Amino acid sequence: MMCELFGASSSTSRGLSRWLVPFRSRGGESADNPDGWGIAFWSGGQPSIEKSPEPGWESQRFLQLSESVNSPLVIAHVRKARHPPVPGMRNTHPFSHRCCDREWVFAHNGLVSDIVDWPVANPLCHPVGDTDSEHAFCRLLAGIVGSYDAADHDQWLGRLEHLAGIIATAGKFNFLLSDGRILIAYGDDRLHYLEESDKHGHLALVATEPLTDDSWHPFAPRQLRVYQEGTLLVSHLPQGSADRFPA
């Protein structure tokens, strides 16, 4: 097992306890991810991030947040420490870095340890911790900084997808990423989605493993899915090969 992810995109602020509470139990109780928990949730376009290197299922604060968070956009993570193989606050997801006048949040499941030695053409951000995950995050941001446009997704999302495919060649690379407007989910080998509409509007959920008995669907290998306000904007499958990181 290598960490687990949870993401939500909704057309309205809403509580997510139905899914966050069972996700919390994946942090060392119902699954072997005892090495930290974290959650990012947005209000007014700005993220609040809380996290701890303690087991998620033992954390009363994580339980409180799981039951009380009310937001249109959420990214959460429970960690199985692999790189480095010890818990620690600096290495607990989600991570946050600034790019293109926005605050970005990222969480990763998998292992791409070789990436720490890959070149970075534009060192936009510098990892605070030691994880391969945060190194990958910084490389993604460096790769889109020249093309990001909040009003036009096509060019920079294509660039992001290409870079994600390159990083995935180093191992397993499932991730959630957000600029505070959209939820980007990349499923290398282990991710599921659930989309529904109810009296509150549209809702899209992404999780490593299904969290309820609803009709969750697996991502295709290396599929990119992008949601805004609970609605699917982009669903791409890999095109061609991606075998080299730009120097």
Looking at the chain, the whole-number percentage of residues with pLDDT higher than 90 is 80
More confident of the two residues 126 and 18: 18
pLDDT band at 118 (very low <50, low <70, confident <90, very high): confident
DSSP code string of 111-148: E-GGGGGS--SS-----SS--HHHHHHHHHHHHHTTT-
| Other beta carbons within 10 Å of 152 | 10
Please provide the average confidence, as pLDDT, over all residues in the chain: 92
**Which of 3.60.20.10, 3.20.20.210, 3.50.50.60, 3.10.20.440 is the CATH number of 4-236?**
3.60.20.10
pLDDT, position 146 = 85
Residue type, 147: S
pLDDT in tens, 123-139: 678 899 999 999 999 99
Q: Exposed, middle or buried, 113 (CB in 10 Å: 0-12/13-18/19+)? A: middle
Contact between 95 and 133 (Cβ < 8 Å): yes
Q: Which helix (H) or strand (E) holds 48?
A: strand 46-52
Query: Structural domain boundaries of the chain?
Result: 4-236
Instruction: Tell me the average pLDDT across 211-240.
Output: 93
Torsion of CA 209, 194, 70, 52, to 10 degrees: 20
pLDDT in tens, 189-202: 999 999 999 988 99
Exposure string for 181-193, b = 16+ CB within 10 A, e = fewer: ebbbbbbbebbbb
Separation between Cα atoms, residue 124 and residue 154, nearest integer Å: 22
Q: Which residues pair with 105 in a beta bridge?
A: 96, 178
pLDDT, position 84 = 86
Separation between Cα atoms, residue 7 and residue 204, nearest integer Å: 8
Residue type, 185: A
pLDDT band at 246 (very low <50, low <70, confident <90, very high): very low
Residue 228 pLDDT more than 70? Answer: yes
